[in-house]
Structures are given as C-alpha cells and as structure tokens.
Amino acid sequence: MEETGAHRLRQPLRLKTVDLLIREVMADDAAAVVAIFNPIIEAGAYTAFDAPFTVEAERSYIGTLPERAIFLVAERVADGVVVGFQSLEPFATYTRAFAHVGVLGTYVDLECRRQGVAGRLFQATFLAARAKAYEKLLTYIHADNAPALAAYLRQGFRVVGTAQPQAKGRGRVK
C-alpha cells in the first residue's frame, strides 16, 4: 500500500503556553502595540500594512476608538509584557444594515507565536463582541499567510472568497 501525504502521521503539536492577562488596551500600551506591530509590518508577509506606526499615532488611535470597538491586549503575567493584541471595529458605519458585522485583526509578537496567545485573545474578543451585539466577524488574510489562516479556521472562521491579486506593496501583488 502506498502512503500519501494525507495519511502520514505527524508529530503531535506541542504548544508552549504562557499565563496571560487579557485586558482592554490603554493609551499607555501604545509603545507595546507598536513594538509588536512594526516588526510584523517590516516582515512584509503577514499584513497589508506597509508603513510602520509611531507611538504617537497609535496612542491617538487608541484614544479615538469608536464606541463599539473592541481592542484587547494579551499581557504576559510573569513580566507584564504585552505579547499580542486583537482589534475589532464595525465593518461599515455608513448604514445600519451592517451594524451586526465587525472586522477583526489579530497580531502576536513574532517571538511569541504558537504559545496560545491568539487563542486566548479570540476567546475574550468573542465574548466582548456578543456583548456589543456583533453577530458576524470577518477578517482579511493574505492567501499565503498559512499560520494566520489556520488560527482563524481553528476559531470557526471559514474562507468565503479569495481576492487575487488584491494587496500591492513592496514591489509585488498578493
């Protein structure tokens, strides 16, 4: 019998987990958010954002979040370091027809992936989203960002379409 890739046994997944405090973002978290976000942007593989953020711009953004926005950070309990964040905002504010729909973004420090950070953020965000009357969440993920796609699929998201080519930047189209 020929063995195919679909039938091969893989090593069990071993996640290093950390104790986290999931909480609402504060203006004082701006530097920590930028410290996570900018290396992800610089990597050029995980987000459509193409320019780094300043601490001042992030602090301003946090201070002007819409009322229905949800912006949570994952803070490592051992040392108080923010290792990830997730934001959810209304999909469209120009009509009430989409008031139940939110757009979600998830970002985990490049050195802290595969440690359960995103999963904990999803749990807390889903609870907060229900409390703010969101019924449907969507996100945008580059088709070649397999880790992010897998994380969202594990949370019950499904692929509803693939826009190709969509995002332009750094001399390429994704």
In 39-133, the DSSP E strands lie at 70-76, 82-90, 101-108
Does the pTM surpass 0.85? The reply is: no
- Mean pLDDT value across residues 133-138: 94
Contact 77, 21 (CB under 8 A): yes
Number of domains in the chain: 1
Query: Is 6 inside any structural domain?
Result: no
170 is a domain residue: no
Model pLDDT, residue 165: 62
Among the ranges given (38-47, 86-95, 161-170), the one the predictor scored with the smallest mean pLDDT = 161-170
How far apart CA 71 and CA 62 sit, in angstroms, is 8
Q: Is residue 153 in some structural domain? A: yes
Residue 77 sits in a domain whose CATH number is 3.40.630.30
Residue 14 lies in a domain: no
- Residue 99's domain spans which residues? 20-158
